[in-house]
Structure 1
Amino acid sequence: MKSVKVTILGKQFPLKVKDSEEETMKRIAHYVDDKFRQYKKELNKQPDTTVMSLAALAIAEELFEERKQNRELNQQEEKVMEKVNGSLEEFVDEITS
């Protein structure tokens, strides 16, 4: 495990991550920081906890939407593979008969 410091809204947070995950965690922290800053700019009169909560909800919404799209793509892939397999079975039946 490696100790990494990330900065979000000007505050440093120490994290323990696997060596192989260091760059990924830094990119994630940078993304979260950007999102928080965007919301802080838009909601400058709101307390940080409100800004962070709303930004966290927005990030979670993005995640849920990506998961939904991923499920839909997987379902489409399964349908295509079923068609391909069916076609291959028909072809094999034709050439072996």
Structure 2
Amino acid sequence: MESIKVNILGKQIPLKVEDSEVENTRKIAQYVDEKFKLFRNQFSNQPDSTIMILACLSITEELFELRTELNQSDEKESELMDKINDEISKLIKDIS
């Protein structure tokens, strides 16, 4: 485990992460910080807790949309594989 510090909304947050996850954790923290700053700029009159909730909801919405896209892609791939398998079966049957 490695101890690192990330900055979110100007605050240093100490974390312990696996050595192999240091760079990824820094990238995630930077992304979260950018989202928080974006919402802070849009809603400057709101407290940080509200800003964080809005940013978390936005990030979660992105995650859900990507999951939906991935599931749709998997379904299309499965349908395509079924069609390919059917065509291969037909070819094998015709050759036999």
Question: What's the TM-score bracket when you normalise by the shorter of the two chains?
Answer: over 0.9
1:59-78 matches, cutoff 5 A: 59-78=59-78
Q: Which residue of 1 aligns with 2:58?
A: 58
| Aligned-residue identity in percent | 46
1:20 aligns with 2:20: yes
Q: 2:94 matched to which residue of 1?
A: 94
TM-superposed CA distance for 1:4, in Å, is 1.4
Q: TM-score if structure 2 supplies the norm length?
A: 0.96
Q: Which residue of 2 aligns with 1:36?
A: 36
**Which amino acid letter does the alignment assign opposite residue 56 of structure 1?**
C
Deviations 1:39-97 (A, max 9, x none): 0011001000000100100000000000011000000000000000111111111112x
Partner of 2:82: 82
Could you say which residue in structure 1 is the equivalent of 2:47?
A: 47
The 2-side partners of 1:81 and 1:34 are apart by: 40
- Which runs of 5 or more structure 2 residues have no equivalent in the other structure? none
Q: Secondary structure at the match of 1:89?
A: helix
Q: Distance in 2 between matches of 1:68 and 1:48?
A: 30
Which ranges in structure 1 are unaligned for 5 or more consecutive residues?
A: none
